[in-house]
Structure 1
Amino acid sequence: MIPTPNQTALILPKIDVQKFNINGWNIIFTPKKSSLMSIRCLLQGGALSEQEGLAHLRDRALQQLMELNSELPMLSGEIEIITSHQYSHICYDGLCDELEDFLKTINHLCSNSPELNTVLNDCLEQISSELRSTNDWPQNILSAVFREHFTNLKWGIPGRHSTINQYTSDDLFKSWNHHYHNPSGTLIITGDLKTNDIQKLLKILPQSKPKACEAHLYRLRKEQYFIEMDLEQTHLLMATPIPGINTPHFDAWRVATEILSGDIDGKIPQKLRVNSGLTYDLSAFILEGTQNSVLMLTSSVSQFKQAFEIINTTLQQAHLDLSQTDINKALLHLKIEQIEARISCSDICDHIEQQWTLNQSIPPEFTDTDTHLAPNLVHQIMGQISSADWLCIAVGSKIHIPESFKTIDKPSSFD
């Protein structure tokens, strides 16, 4: 007789998230037993409508200056710099005993006038080289069209060749002063460190001055656009507006998204991949915002007309045949993701960073151990998805595109 396995509920490990303020900086500290630590330094400034490409150029210059500056401490880990959502993210993963050296680096960046002219030309050449290949990839084209036509997101994008090459070291210096000499900063730290020791070390940070963020705006309507490229498959992006994360029971939207696309047995993969064999690549995700968000679906498909019809039909029938098993399975997948987000210092930092840049809050699942959703809430959300109007952008061969799609030019980084 085969013994019945013991089934135990998945329990989310508790996360001790401490939040305090030093010199105007928001400090978010999560103690975790590990020889490594992770730090995310978020410097806020500028605006979504800042001049195109300037933030990207500034942070490229920052990276080079950090590598060339012999006055800065040597760190065993790697520093990565990313610009997005009105924040410059300086990410560091390294040894716990290097916290003081990292803080000295941040203090140096915020307290010294850099010789930007020494790296400007090299940065311009690097970015120009990258721009030449930007529009060779369908996914980049979809993102560029979506960003340019349907959002106000200019912050942190590489820009166009003509725009980038108009900037001078004076432009860069003014931008640097705005961001680093008057920082509005948040430090997210995870590692085997003591709160008292951290608080003592953080006193070297320069004074931080809070700045307000602009709201992301999306201009989504039921429209269909097509960019012609000689490709074997058609790449598509679909988007529809949904409420923001501050909406009560927003977790129901996450569950609904998981039901639509999760794993191989999600509603859309089941119809599109398993039953029809039209794709190996499909994902649905939410661009989360405080007041409004966007539910997005991306895929690369063969026989686009047939695939597009299957996707639309599946979306329109999303509220049908929805069982408690579907909901439980989606909740389980989401809980597994939450557990995985607690495994390493880097995962914890990344998760906190993502939530903080949205609405300056701690991820609710770090303080609330379980998600409780009434089944009727998920049914209601699936009903809203069934009746939603979707924007669709497709890139591929014209012979596969329905006549309802409006042809637009391929975006170019060179003008």
Structure 2
Amino acid sequence: MVKMKTMDNGLCVVGEENSFVRSVALGIWIKNGSIDENKNNNGISHFIEHMMFKGTKNRTAKNIADEMSEVGGRINAFTGKEYMCYYAHTLDNHIDVALDVLSDMILNSGMKDEDMKKEKGVIIEEINMYEDSPEEIVHDLIQEESWSGSTLGYNILGTKELVNNFTKKDIEEYMSKHYIPENIVISVVGKFDFDEMFDKISEKFSVLKKKNRVERIGKLNYKKCFVTKDKDIEQVHLCMSFPSIPYNSDEIYILSILNTILGGGINSRLFQSIREEKGLAYSIYSYVETYNIAGMLNIYAATNPTQIEPVILGVMEEINLLLEKGIDEKELNQTKEQLKSNLIIGFENMNSRMSSYGKTKLMIDRIKSQDEMIEGINAVNLDSFMNFAKKTFNYNEMSTALVGRHKDIDIERIKNLCTR
């Protein structure tokens, strides 16, 4: 059973005790990401995440790494568009070490000038690595253009120029607005005692004072786009996107089934048609991105410039076939079983459970249980699936992004094909 308790300052702790394991996963989830930034500090959330590992007033960066290694634990973090997480996984008898290290990082970060200078260099190299990855670029390109005018379109890494200009004052001011108790959920799953853990967390985090939360954008306008980037590479990287539903929509399970059938694996329609039958692309798949106020269903492919038009036409052909002929009960039930299997097997991992509880509590202010998700998948029928598919695949709303050598592509011809 998942337990939940809120500290006096507003910080929420969720947890699930599991006596059948010998480990504990602990995550500090913060409602902060690139969506909370502006044009002058884009990338600061990700920069702060990096700086948390550079040492505290009590520990050096090496101390942080050594203390976790000495107990055989793992520690890491990530930054997204709407949230970030600092997390650790240890044996149950070492969870106090993980809590002490993570809380020290969040509450007592050193933010030394020399460390900031070094980490700016590291992140600039990360940006350079990103710029060498056309698959990453094409995904971000379509996001930036489709949500242009909104911070949802911001790149999580920011730019080299902005990163170079961050100061300690910038970080302190930003953290004082966003690293506040009302924006934090601490999720713990594994072999531990919830009441004991709540008391230990309270002892660490009671120093955070209650503050008013900074309101996020509450509305978003999708903008259909056709965007290209000239890059000297052998293949063309393509992304075709349709606006879809937000994370908390009742139709989220229909979207998952649609994505799985279309391009979610090697037995999907796009993989079997475009790669296996026609041999037009080595890499092709679909994926979904859902946020609190918006969502997208995306189709990605990488192919030879001479094959880009047949790939686009092949994708449209598969979409049209799905809309015209639909799916049968066998394909629907097979996909449901696939999703339920992935969900159940994933929930056998303590990190997965910790992440699910922390994310859902942080983003929609409640816990989505495994049973609720299975019921949602089971509730999808042929009629609801087809109604959703017809609503989603509207070519008048489709956005397209291409990354590759412009001289190898008939841009206008492709644009006319995608914006008809």
TM-score when scaled to structure 2?
Answer: 0.83
Do the aligned residues in 2 keep the contact of 1:30 with 1:189 (CA within 8 Å)? yes
CA distance 1:357–1:404, change in 2 (3 Å): farther
Structure 2 Cα separation of the partners of residues 300 and 160 of structure 1: 26
Other-structure match for 2:60? 68
Question: In the alignment, residue 380 of structure 1 is paired with which amino acid?
Answer: N
Identify which of structures 1 and 2 has the higher relative contact order when contacts are C-alpha pairs closer than 8 Å and 6+ apart. 1
Structure 2 Cα separation of the partners of residues 71 and 386 of structure 1: 52
Other-structure match for 1:44? 31
Residue 331 of structure 1, CA deviation: 0.7
CA distance 1:103–1:213, change in 2 (3 Å): farther
Do the aligned residues in 2 keep the contact of 1:153 with 1:216 (CA within 8 Å)? no
Q: Deviations over 1:257-296 (max 9, x none)?
A: 2121233332222221122011232221221123431111
Structure 2 Cα separation of the partners of residues 405 and 337 of structure 1: 37
Other-structure match for 1:9? none
2:392 pairs with 1:403 = no
Residue 205 of structure 2: SS of its match in structure 1? coil
Within-5 A mapping of 1:249-288: 249-288=251-290
Residue 172 of structure 1, CA deviation: 2.5
Residue 161 of structure 1, CA deviation: 1.6
Select between 241-250 and 213-222 the one with higher mean Cα deviation.
213-222
Question: In the alignment, residue 392 of structure 1 is paired with which amino acid?
Answer: T
Structure 2 Cα separation of the partners of residues 186 and 350 of structure 1: 11
Structure 2 Cα separation of the partners of residues 327 and 248 of structure 1: 18
Do the aligned residues in 2 keep the contact of 1:226 with 1:406 (CA within 8 Å)? no
5+ residue gaps, structure 2, are none
Structure 2 Cα separation of the partners of residues 84 and 140 of structure 1: 14
TM-score when scaled to structure 1?
Answer: 0.84
Question: In the alignment, residue 53 of structure 1 is paired with which amino acid?
Answer: G
Residue 67 of structure 2: SS of its match in structure 1? coil
Other-structure match for 1:11? none
- How many pairs are equivalent? 392
Do the aligned residues in 1 keep the contact of 2:185 with 2:358 (CA within 8 Å)? no
Other-structure match for 1:382? 389
Structure 1 Cα separation of the partners of residues 413 and 404 of structure 2: 15
Select between 159-168 and 300-309 the one with higher mean Cα deviation.
159-168
Select between 303-312 and 388-397 the one with higher mean Cα deviation.
388-397
Identify, as 1 or 2, the structure richer in helix.
2
Other-structure match for 1:185? 184
Structure 1 Cα separation of the partners of residues 372 and 300 of structure 2: 32
Residue 180 of structure 1, CA deviation: 4.5
Within-5 A mapping of 1:54-93: 54-66=44-56, 68=60, 74-75=67-68, 76=71, 77-93=73-89
Q: Deviations over 1:46-74 (max 9, x none)?
A: 75234212222222111111561688792
Q: Deviations over 1:343-364 (max 9, x none)?
A: 2111222333443454233224
5+ residue gaps, structure 1, are 1-15, 408-415
Do the aligned residues in 2 keep the contact of 1:48 with 1:155 (CA within 8 Å)? no
Do the aligned residues in 2 keep the contact of 1:315 with 1:385 (CA within 8 Å)? no
Aligned residue among 330, 335, 350 for 1:345: 350
Structure 2 Cα separation of the partners of residues 154 and 403 of structure 1: 25
Other-structure match for 2:314? 310
Other-structure match for 1:198? 197
User: Identity of aligned pairs, percent?
Assistant: 15
Other-structure match for 2:360? 355
Residue 226 of structure 1, CA deviation: 2.2
